[in-house]
A = this chain, B = another copy of it.
Amino acid sequence: MASQSDHKAAIIDGKAIAQTIRNEIAEEVRHLSQKYGKVPGLAVVIVGTRKDSQSYVSMKRKACAEVGIKSVDIDLPENVSQDDLIAKVHELNATSDVHGILVQLPLPNHINEEKVLSEISIEKDVDGFHPLNIGKLAMKGREPLFLPCTPKARLEFCIQTQIDADAHTCTILSNEEPLLSKQYSHKIVKAIHVQGCIELLSRSGISIKGKKAVVVGRSNIVGLPVSLLLLKADATVTVVHSRTPDPESFIREADIIIAAAGQAMMIKGSWIKPGAAVIDVGTNAIDDLSRKSGYRLVGDVDFQEACKVAGWVTPVPGGVGPMTVAMLLKNTLDGAKHAIAQ
Complex CA gap A141/B250 in Å reads 26
A239 and B236 contact, CB distance less than 8 A: yes
Q: Which residue of B lies closest to A160 (CB)?
A: B140
Contact of A138 among B138, B234, B237, B240 (CB under 8 A): B138
**Number of copies of this chain that the complex holds:** 2
Question: With A132-B135, A138-B137, A244-B210 in contact, do A231 and B239 touch (Cβ < 8 Å)?
Answer: yes
Complex CA gap A131/B134 in Å reads 9
Residues of A204-224 whose CB lies within 8 A of B: 209-210, 218-220, 224
**Which residues does chain B contribute within 8 Å of A134, judged by CB atoms?**
135, 138-139
Contact of A239 among B139, B237, B244 (CB under 8 A): B237
Q: Which residue of B lies closest to A189 (CB)?
A: B139
Q: Which residue of B lies closest to A236 (CB)?
A: B244
Question: With A228-B224, A231-B239 in contact, do A136 and B141 touch (Cβ < 8 Å)?
Answer: no
A224 and B138 contact, CB distance less than 8 A: yes
Q: Which residue of B lies closest to A240 (CB)?
A: B236
**Which residues does chain B contribute within 8 Å of A139, judged by CB atoms?**
131, 134, 189, 220, 224
**Which residues does chain B contribute within 8 Å of A224, judged by CB atoms?**
138-140, 228, 231
Q: Which residue of B lies closest to A142 (CB)?
A: B189
**Which residues does chain B contribute within 8 Å of A243, judged by CB atoms?**
209-210, 234, 236
Q: Which residue of B lies closest to A233 (CB)?
A: B243
- Is A104 at the interface (CB under 8 A from chain B)? no
Q: Which residue of B lies closest to A188 (CB)?
A: B141
Complex CA gap A219/B133 in Å reads 18
- Is A245 at the interface (CB under 8 A from chain B)? yes
Q: Which residue of B lies closest to A131 (CB)?
A: B135
Complex CA gap A218/B236 in Å reads 10
**Which residues does chain B contribute within 8 Å of A141, judged by CB atoms?**
187, 189, 220
**Which residues does chain B contribute within 8 Å of A238, judged by CB atoms?**
236-239
Question: With A136-B131, A220-B139, A243-B209 in contact, do A250 and B236 touch (Cβ < 8 Å)?
Answer: yes
Q: Which residue of B lies closest to A238 (CB)?
A: B238
- Is A241 at the interface (CB under 8 A from chain B)? yes
B241 and A236 contact, CB distance less than 8 A: yes
Known: A135-B138, A139-B224. 7 other contacts (CB 8 A): A137-B138, A140-B219, A142-B189, A210-B243, A224-B228, A224-B231, A231-B241
Residues of A within 8 A of B (CB): 130-142, 160, 164, 187, 189, 209-210, 218-220, 224-225, 228, 231, 234, 236-241, 243-245, 250
CB pairs A–B below 8 angstroms (30 shown): A131-B135, A131-B136, A132-B132, A133-B135, A134-B135, A135-B137, A138-B138, A138-B224, A138-B225, A138-B228, A139-B189, A139-B220, A140-B160, A140-B189, A140-B219, A141-B187, A141-B220, A209-B243, A210-B243, A210-B244, A210-B245, A224-B228, A224-B231, A234-B241, A234-B243, A236-B239, A236-B240, A236-B241, A236-B244, A238-B238
